[in-house]
Structure 1
Amino acid sequence: MSNNHYQSLGISRDASADQIKKAYRKLARKYHPDISKEADAEARMQEINVAYDTLSDAEKKKQYDFELDHPQGFGEFGDGKHSGFDQSQFYRQGGAQGQHSDFSGFEDLFGRFGQGFGGADYQYQRANRQAKSFRGEDQHANLTVDVDIAFHGATQNITLQIPTLNIYGEPEVQRKTLQVKIPAGMKSGQQIRLSGQGQAGFNGGAAGDLYIEILYKQTEQLWVEGADIYQQLNISPWEAALGQKIAFTTPDGKTLELQIPKNARTGQQLRLKDKGIPNKTPGHLYLILNVVIPPANTEVEQHAYNTFAQAFESFNPRQS
């Protein structure tokens, strides 16, 4: 195998399912093309998706471990270019309205269906395609959407390139555009199942299913973990010091009033219970306070700072 999925996720082979999931989420936050500044973000995200898709499924992981332990049996397909196919072509998808989707079923299809195209089992299937049918493999994709969709729901179009077999049992790429209805209340990481939209069946077999994992766009000011939403809230020094009441806009577009605690600090968190994603078990909205210091550009502003400095003459911020 040309890639080691364990190395891609930075974990050991004895990592638990929870450790695999945590490693994936950490790397996805770093390399997701919508937010990452890394030069190789798209390629790394594709690699991470394939690794997680394989290692998070017990059966896929079992077969992958077997392939790692018996590399001599998979050398023919190990370079990912057998039969003229370059696996990188299957991972470039575009979602409607600027949304982003990542197909992560290539390793599953070429690693499990017939033990790879061109392998002995594949040749056996070609010779016996009139006698035996196979269900198509399930496929997986990621769809990244705006956080407000968690509150209101939406319908999105996504275009995927899915590797499949034609009627002659030969590999080819099927391009399809699907309309996905995203209900309100989906947690980050939850999946939508589209029955029969996965890989086509072989020799009359039923088609597999397509599982779409919903992710939310993440920025330095707003991100989602499960059903919880974290939002940076900028406040002025006097609002922080005096504990004033302010109005702000929540991720679902509503305006709320909030009482800032007296002598609030940058980095301090305030929890608004059940104001996160409205799931069956509602998430919370965590406001992370950020005290913004206004500039002193005019004489009036500079005079105000001088007056402030005199009022706090005994204050030394460098004292431990």
Structure 2
Amino acid sequence: MPDNHYQTLGVARDASTDQIKKAYRKLARKYHPDVSKEADAEARMQAINVAYDTLSDAEKKKQYDFELDHPQGFTSNAQGFDQSQFYRQAGSQGQSADFSGFEDIFGRFGQGFGGADYQYQRNQRQAQSFRGEDQHASLEVDIDVAYHGANQTITLQIPSLNAYGEPEVQRKTLAVKIPAGMKSGQQIRLAGQGQSGYNGGASGDLYIEILYKHTEKLRVEGSDIYQQLNISPWEAALGQKIEIQTPDEKTLELQIPKNAREGQQLRLKDKGIPNKTPGHLYLILNIVIPPAQTEQQQQAYSAFAEAFPSFNPRQS
């Protein structure tokens, strides 16, 4: 098992926020229990969630780096959570943080450990309430959701705190309504569905990032859609009119420009994702060469070659 959160996500200690986020997404797609066939998928996903929750927060990451550099003052439990997490959370909410989490464990066994002064300080800490941390997840959906919206059910593992302030993981199944017109990368906020609060504190929020599935012929960037469009050599050369089907399953008539080139992009304004500022649909031309299987087809290629005697594609 990895020794620290950086190894869990497979990133360096100087990794940027974007690199950490990218690594988390990649691992989440691989180890999510609903899709992974790995025997330890659930345990791995728990560790991945906790690692991302720590390293994606600047204050938590700073404190975690300090603990890595000063291991003699900290300890971790078997699940990879450090016992001072509760106190680091307190610090992130504007309170002064102390790092005696390892002492608090022994304090539960009675007043004999640490004496009356220690017990009074411990009770004072437990009397405070803290809001739960916000959590982040991503949801990959088909492109038609951008046009029509959808209702999705997702299952997540949310880091939480138990009655003693120790980290644990809650498994939640949530219904998510995705409205039409969401850009790729936009987030849906589910209030109160993040990490549970401590000692009566309010729960954090859950932010779900919407991503669209990329295929060999389709990809999304923000509110713009890029779609590969296959055309014949004569359609490209002669500039013919053709019918196409857009990602929202509508049929349009399109004029191909004469002498169109492979890879050339045709922009259909406002035919991308339909939000307040509509995106565009970019058609990327892919000229498909038909095979010469019959004698007639071979003769057609011969006539084509005779019509262009000086054409050499290796010199163009």
Q: Counterpart in 2 of 1:2?
A: 4
Asked if 1:166 is matched to 2:147, the reply is no
Q: Counterpart in 1 of 2:171?
A: 175
Taking structure 1 as the reference length, the TM-score comes to: 0.73
1:165 is displaced (CA, Å) by 2.5
Q: Counterpart in 1 of 2:153?
A: 157
- Output the amino acid matched with 1:299: E
Asked if 1:246 is matched to 2:242, the reply is yes
Secondary structure in 2 matching 1:181: strand
The counterpart of 1:192, out of the listed 188, 191, 199, is 188
Q: Counterpart in 1 of 2:144?
A: 148
- Contact kept in structure 2, 1:9 and 1:27, CA below 8 Å: no
Q: Percent identity?
A: 69
The counterpart of 1:211, out of the listed 203, 207, 214, is 207
| Cα deviation digits, residues 25-59 of structure 1 (max 9, x gap) | 699699966xxxxxx9x9xxx89988876666544
The counterpart of 1:136, out of the listed 132, 139, 145, is 132
- Contact kept in structure 2, 1:114 and 1:122, CA below 8 Å: no
Q: Counterpart in 2 of 1:301?
A: 297
Asked if 1:114 is matched to 2:94, the reply is no
1:273-284 correspondence to structure 2 within 5 Å: 273-284=269-280
1:62 is displaced (CA, Å) by 4.4
| Cα deviation digits, residues 64-110 of structure 1 (max 9, x gap) | 55456555555x33xxxx23x2x6xxxxxxxxxxxxxxxxxxx9x98
Q: Aligned pair in 2 of structure 1 residues 171, 132: CA closer, same or farther (>3 Å)?
A: same
- Output the amino acid matched with 1:216: Y
Q: Distance in 1 between matches of 2:236 and 2:256?
A: 7
Q: Distance in 1 between matches of 2:23 and 2:265?
A: 22
The counterpart of 2:281, out of the listed 263, 285, 310, is 285
| Cα deviation digits, residues 233-255 of structure 1 (max 9, x gap) | 11111111111111111111111
The aligned length equals 279
1:173 is displaced (CA, Å) by 2.7
Instruction: Tell me the C-alpha RMSD between the 2 structures.
Output: 3.8
- Contact kept in structure 1, 2:147 and 2:181, CA below 8 Å: yes
- Output the amino acid matched with 1:258: L
1:2 is displaced (CA, Å) by 2.5
Asked if 1:270 is matched to 2:266, the reply is yes
- Contact kept in structure 2, 1:138 and 1:209, CA below 8 Å: yes
Larger Rg: 2
Structure 1 unaligned blocks of 5 or more: 34-39, 88-106
Q: Distance in 2 between matches of 1:251 and 1:223?
A: 10
Secondary structure in 2 matching 1:246: strand
- Contact kept in structure 1, 2:155 and 2:173, CA below 8 Å: yes
- Output the amino acid matched with 1:315: F
Q: Counterpart in 1 of 2:313?
A: 317
Q: Distance in 2 between matches of 1:163 and 1:50?
A: 7
Q: Aligned pair in 2 of structure 1 residues 51, 135: CA closer, same or farther (>3 Å)?
A: closer
Q: Aligned pair in 2 of structure 1 residues 71, 215: CA closer, same or farther (>3 Å)?
A: farther
Taking structure 2 as the reference length, the TM-score comes to: 0.73
Q: Distance in 2 between matches of 1:303 and 1:31?
A: 55
Secondary structure in 2 matching 1:294: coil
- Contact kept in structure 1, 2:193 and 2:205, CA below 8 Å: yes
1:313 is displaced (CA, Å) by 1.8
Q: Distance in 2 between matches of 1:172 and 1:56?
A: 19
- Contact kept in structure 1, 2:84 and 2:102, CA below 8 Å: no
- Contact kept in structure 1, 2:20 and 2:52, CA below 8 Å: no
- Output the amino acid matched with 1:121: G
Q: Distance in 1 between matches of 2:27 and 2:305?
A: 41
1:168 is displaced (CA, Å) by 4.1
1:22-33 correspondence to structure 2 within 5 Å: none
Secondary structure in 2 matching 1:219: coil
| Cα deviation digits, residues 143-171 of structure 1 (max 9, x gap) | 00001101111110001122322334444
- Contact kept in structure 1, 2:153 and 2:174, CA below 8 Å: yes
